[in-house]
Amino acid sequence: MKIVVLVKQVPDTTDVRLDEKTGNLIREGLESIINPDDRHAIEAAVRLKEGRSGRVTVLSMGPMQAIDVLSESIGMGADEGILLSDKAFAGADTWATSFTLGKAIEKIGLFDLILCGRQAIDGDTAQIGPQVADYLRIPHVTYVCDVEEVKKKTITAKRRLENGYEQVRCALPALLTVIGELNLPRYPTMDRLIHACREKAPIKVWNAADVGVQTRQVGLEGSLTHVIKTFAPKFKREGEILNGDTKVVVHELIERLKKSEGATACKAFSSTCKL
């Protein structure tokens, strides 16, 4: 079973700060991590390989420092890593990214399964999986939370719905996007990590020429969508703070709600209005 896992390096968005002056993101000092969903994809791939013959290839597109996520994936049990890195890839939207990843997968050759995370926490688009699948003309299943059976030509999986589950059988080769419910990712082992950081580690770096794409097809130039502006979200309202004794402030609040246009929405008011 040949599996390709798509893994992205992302900034840890839990402590993102903005530059007050420019409204831009302060990237300095932001820790980079493997995108959380993608860890579950790696774990699933390694488990699927265990107990049968197979190969797990981890593929990532990003700056050179993204090599760290490949080492970590190999530490978790992946066989090899490929980093797509080229200045020409910078600024890519999901159209250009899915094209670049698709081209690289074609170069890797035959595969049975492609696994990716449902979404990346920096862009939160959840678009790459289905777009890569469409580029490769294979079916996809999103929100996978359980892989039940893998046969030669089909895979049976459970996917999450808004309020329940759906069990599907999909023809192989296929692409799955996975969510956290799927499994508990293992930690990389020390000896595998050392293996992944040796000079002869099974990691390759490909540039635009290696995957056979032209500069104008990838990165910002190859993108169909463009960010024209970023700004800090504005949430502020003209707030009024009510001060004083609880009974009094609650009374004041209720008076204001009653007079507001929201009053009709409130059951408690409509009954008092009838009096």
Ligand X SMILES: Nc1ncnc2c1ncn2[C@@H]1O[C@H](COP(=O)(O)O)[C@@H](O)[C@H]1O
CA gap 166, 171 in Å, rounded: 16
Q: The tokens of 118 are what? A: 């449902």
Q: State which of positions 18-77 bind ligand X (CB under 6 A).
A: 35, 37-38, 59-62
Q: What is the DSSP letter of 261?
A: T
| 71 interacts with, out of another protein, ligand X, none, CB within 5 to 8 A per kind | none
Inter-CA distances, 149 with 77, 155, 216, 245, Å: 21, 6, 42, 64
CA 178, CA 40: separation in Å to the nearest integer?
7
Q: Which residue is nearest to ligand X (CB)?
A: 117
Q: In angstroms, what is the minimal distance from the CB of 49 to ligand X? A: 18
Stretch 232-251 residues interacting with another protein (CB under 8 A): 232-233, 235-243, 246-247, 249-251
Question: Which residue number, 101 or 203, has a Cβ lying nearer to ligand X?
Answer: 101
Q: Kindly identify the residues of this chain, within the stretch 21-80, that bind another protein according to CB under 8 A.
A: 21-27
Burial class (CB in 10 A: 0-12, 13-18, 19+), 252: middle
The reply to whether 153 sits near another protein by the rule CB under 8 A is no
DSSP 18: B
Under the binding rule (CB under 6 A), the answer on residue 81 touching ligand X is no
Q: Is 141 in the site for ligand X (CB under 6 A)?
A: no
215 binds another protein (CB under 8 A): yes
* Cβ atoms of 43 and 65 closer than 8 Å: no
List of residues contacting ligand X (CB under 6 A)? 6-8, 35, 37-38, 59-62, 94, 97, 101, 116-117, 119-120, 123-129
